[in-house]
Amino acid sequence: MRRFEHEVASALAADKRLLAGFDFAFGYPTGTAERASGKSDWQALWRAIANDVQDGDDNANNRFEMAARWNRDYFTDGARFWGRPHTVVLDDLAETKPAAPSIQPFAFRMSERHAKGAKSVWQLAYAGSVGSQSLLGIARLSRFLDQHPHRDKIAVWPFETGFSTGFKQPVVLAEIYPSLFTVPLGDGDVKDAAQVRHVAEAFARFDDAGVLGALFTRPINLSDAEVGAALKEEGWILGIGHENLTFAAEGNGVPETTIAPLDYIRDPAEIYRQSFLTIRSEANLDRFPNLMQPLVVRLIHACGMVDLADDIVFSSGAFEAGAMALADGAKIFCDSEMVHHGIIRRLLPANNDVQCLLNDVRVRPLAAWNRNTRSAAQVDLWANQMEGAVIVIGNAPTALFRLLEILDQGAVKPSLILGFPVGFVGAAESKAELAANSRGVPFIAVQGRRGGSAMAAAAVNALAGGLGTND
């Protein structure tokens, strides 16, 4: 910090311009500032962080304790901060990533979604994380700015400058992301040091070519609403959205033209928000319990047909039974690899074991012996492991028929059956049999020919609490 303070003082004294880049987040996902400070404003959030962070010159600090306290006080709907050494035990700060939040603030800022490989600002520990640096760095910068005698000559980009080159302040602070550039490493090079050097050299080349100012302008891939969010609270990473220039930094020359992008929504959180808003406005969800509605929304989202809601059947308490089973660590058995791969593992509440035995070496001979499909044959391999499990069928009607048969034969009962086989032969019939007699097992299914792996996986993700951004 002393080196930085010296560089700023020297630049101001010599009447020179200074760009200071910092490799940590300058902002948090939209909604954070309001929760923590009562104002939707970047500077209010910075000051709230500075007020709570204790950071000594010996690097002793309270970042983990502070994050735990913010999780408890400001994020009662679900923790945002996560990641800590296993030796640091705090009730309100998990060692592993929590479920994706379903409401703002989400897991990632817009700029992080555009920056390849960027980590969430909420992650405080483990490889590549910048969350700790962000808390400590923002606290230091906030105090520096509030106490500086020439504060009017220092600007924080893009909050105080906008996406423009018309600012008058000679000193500009900006968030950078060294991984934006490909950095060649020589013998004995330390990666972090090489990245910093490479970024400084790249910006110097831009300045020599007279195009450095372009990096401060509006990224061409942001909508007006996204620009507003960046300037108000989230901030932006210098260079993101100007990849034509960062490409030039690799020695390819500075391009003269940029191809205008197509106009479409790029922000994943906004895509999900508008999708779910459309579904809720067009689909009739009144007959579904409140807990069940997110699952119905996900099923509709998976197929794009709002009339699907009319064909969804379920037993009383089915959603609760499945959600509780997953929370208790229940196994998940899938009839197809597509279902297996569609289940988002990070959403599962207990690191649940997800199995598809379709390609197990025992299945093909068993199918031949039983004169049935491989999908049905694998169900026999589930039989002794099904107690309390969640059964997910999103492809083969024969698998659902066989499941009902082995239940009739006395097999142990799962906690929930998700019945979404699809097709023209047996799909409607197998689901009709399930709805007519579920053998005492809670179920959720779609009547008729419609179904499929995407719906089946979406149902599991909803049960796991995954109605969010899927970041």
Average pLDDT along the chain:
91
Please give the backbone phi and psi of residue 312, each rounded to the nearest 5 degrees, phi first: -80, 125
Please give the backbone phi and psi of residue 99, each rounded to the nearest 5 degrees, phi first: -60, 150
Query: CB under 8 Å to 48, separation ≥6 — which residues?
Result: 33, 36, 37
Would you give the DSSP letter of residue 231?
I
pLDDT(257) > 50: no
Q: What does the alpha-carbon distance between residue 189 and residue 170 come to, in Å, rounded to a whole number?
A: 33
Q: 166: helix, coil or strand?
A: coil
Q: Check if the beta carbon of residue 65 is closer than 8 Å to that of residue 105.
A: no
Q: Which two tokens stand for residue 100?
A: 């994706």
Q: Check if the beta carbon of residue 447 is closer than 8 Å to that of residue 455.
A: no
Would you give the DSSP letter of residue 100?
P
Q: Which stretch of DSSP H or E encloses residue 48?
A: helix 42-52
Q: Which stretch of DSSP H or E encloses residue 313?
A: strand 312-314
pLDDT(182) > 80: no
- Range 267-288 average pLDDT: 90
CA-to-CA separations, 160 to 18, 143, 165, 391, 460, in angstroms, rounded: 16, 17, 12, 54, 44
pLDDT(247) > 70: no
pLDDT(229) > 50: yes
Q: What does the alpha-carbon distance between residue 22 and residue 82 come to, in Å, rounded to a whole number?
A: 22
pLDDT at 359: 94
Q: What does the alpha-carbon distance between residue 85 and residue 426 come to, in Å, rounded to a whole number?
A: 52
End-to-end CA, the chain: 34
Q: pLDDT tens-digit profile of 333-348?
A: 999 999 999 999 988 9
pLDDT at 268: 82
Q: pLDDT tens-digit profile of 162-178?
A: 999 889 999 999 999 98
Percent of the chain with pLDDT over 90: 75
Q: Which two tokens stand for residue 250?
A: 């690799």
pLDDT(271) > 50: yes
Domains of the chain plus CATH, in order, are: 2-252 (no CATH), 269-463 (3.40.50.10230)
pLDDT(121) > 70: yes
CA-to-CA separations, 436 to 40, 142, 238, 432, in angstroms, rounded: 52, 64, 60, 6
Q: 312: helix, coil or strand?
A: strand
Q: Which stretch of DSSP H or E encloses residue 70?
A: helix 63-74
- Range 314-321 average pLDDT: 96
**Active centre residues (catalytic):** 301
CA-to-CA separations, 101 to 86, 108, 269, in angstroms, rounded: 24, 10, 11
Looking at the DSSP bridge assignments, the partners of residue 332 are: 354, 390
CA-to-CA separations, 134 to 172, 228, 262, in angstroms, rounded: 18, 22, 33
Q: Tell how far CA 423 is from the center of its chain.
A: 33
pLDDT at 245: 65
pLDDT at 262: 64
Of 382, 386, 384, 389, whose CA–CA distance to 328 is shortest? 389
Looking at the DSSP bridge assignments, the partners of residue 70 are: none
Q: Check if the beta carbon of residue 170 is closer than 8 Å to that of residue 17.
A: yes
- Higher-confidence residue: 220 or 118? 118
Query: CB under 8 Å to 88, separation ≥6 — which residues?
Result: 64
Q: What does the alpha-carbon distance between residue 300 and residue 388 come to, in Å, rounded to a whole number?
A: 27
- Higher-confidence residue: 241 or 33? 33
Please give the backbone phi and psi of residue 355, each rounded to the nearest 5 degrees, phi first: -125, 140
Q: pLDDT tens-digit profile of 375-422?
A: 999 999 999 999 999 999 999 999 999 999 999 999 999 999 999 999
Burial class (CB in 10 A: 0-12, 13-18, 19+), 125: middle
Q: Check if the beta carbon of residue 29 is closer than 8 Å to that of residue 22.
A: no
Q: Which two tokens stand for residue 24?
A: 């940590």
Model's pTM, two decimal places? Answer: 0.60
pLDDT(427) > 80: yes
Of 343, 350, 345, 417, whose CA–CA distance to 379 is shortest? 417
